[in-house]
Amino acid sequence: MGTEESNDYNKNVDHRTAEQKAIDDWLPITSSRNAKWWYSAFHNVTAMVGAGVLGLPFAMSELGWGPGVAVMVISWIITFYTLWQMVEMHEMVPGKRFDRYHELGQYAFGEKLGLYIVVPQQLIVEVGVDIVYMVTGGKSLQKFHDTVCGDNCENIKLTYFIMIFASVHFVLSHLPNLNAISGVSLAAAVMSLSYSTIAWGASLKRGVQPNVQYGYKARSTAGTVFNFFSALGEVAFAYAGHNVVLEIQATIPSTPEKPSKGPMWKGVIVAYIVVALCYFPVAFIGYWMFGNEVSDNILITLNRPNWLIAMANMFVVIHVIGSYQIYAMPVFDMLETVLVKKLRFKPTWYLRFITRNVYVAFTMFVGISFPFFGGLLGFFGGFAFAPTTYFLPCIMWLAIYKPKRFSLSWITNWICIILGVLLMIIAPIGALRQIILQAKTYKFYS
Per-residue pLDDT of the chain (446 residues; tens, 9 = 90+): 444 444 444 444 556 678 778 888 888 887 777 888 888 888 888 888 876 788 899 999 999 899 999 999 998 999 899 999 999 999 888 878 898 889 999 999 998 999 998 888 888 888 888 888 898 899 889 988 988 887 778 888 889 999 999 999 999 998 888 788 888 888 998 998 898 998 899 888 888 888 888 888 777 888 888 888 888 878 877 887 788 888 889 888 888 888 888 899 999 999 999 999 989 999 999 999 888 888 777 877 776 678 888 888 899 899 999 999 998 999 999 999 999 988 988 888 889 999 999 999 999 998 888 776 556 666 766 677 778 888 889 999 999 999 999 999 999 999 999 988 988 888 888 778 877 777 777 666 65
Residue 10 to residues 17, 90, 358, 435, 438: CA-CA distances in angstroms?
13, 16, 35, 50, 54
Q: Which of 159, 443, 445, 142 is nearest to 299 (CA)?
A: 142
What span, in angstroms and rounded, lies between the C-alpha atoms of 234 and 196?
17
Measured distance between the N- and C-terminal CA atoms of the chain, rounded to whole angstroms: 56
Which pLDDT score is estimated for 6? 44
Which pLDDT score is estimated for 213? 82
pTM of the model: 0.85
Coil, helix or strand at residue 234? helix
Cα 443 to the chain's mean position, in Å? 28
265 neighbors 84 (Cβ within 8 angstroms): yes
Element housing 166 (H / E): helix 158-172
Which pLDDT score is estimated for 7? 43
Amino acid at 25: D
Altogether, the residues listed in the chain come to a count of: 446
Which pLDDT score is estimated for 14? 56
Amino acid at 74: I
Fold that domain 42-440 belongs to in CATH? Amino acid/polyamine transporter I (1.20.1740)
What span, in angstroms and rounded, lies between the C-alpha atoms of 192 and 53?
9
Residues near 84 by beta carbon (within 8 Å), at least 6 away in sequence: 265, 268
Which pLDDT score is estimated for 4? 42
241 neighbors 40 (Cβ within 8 angstroms): no
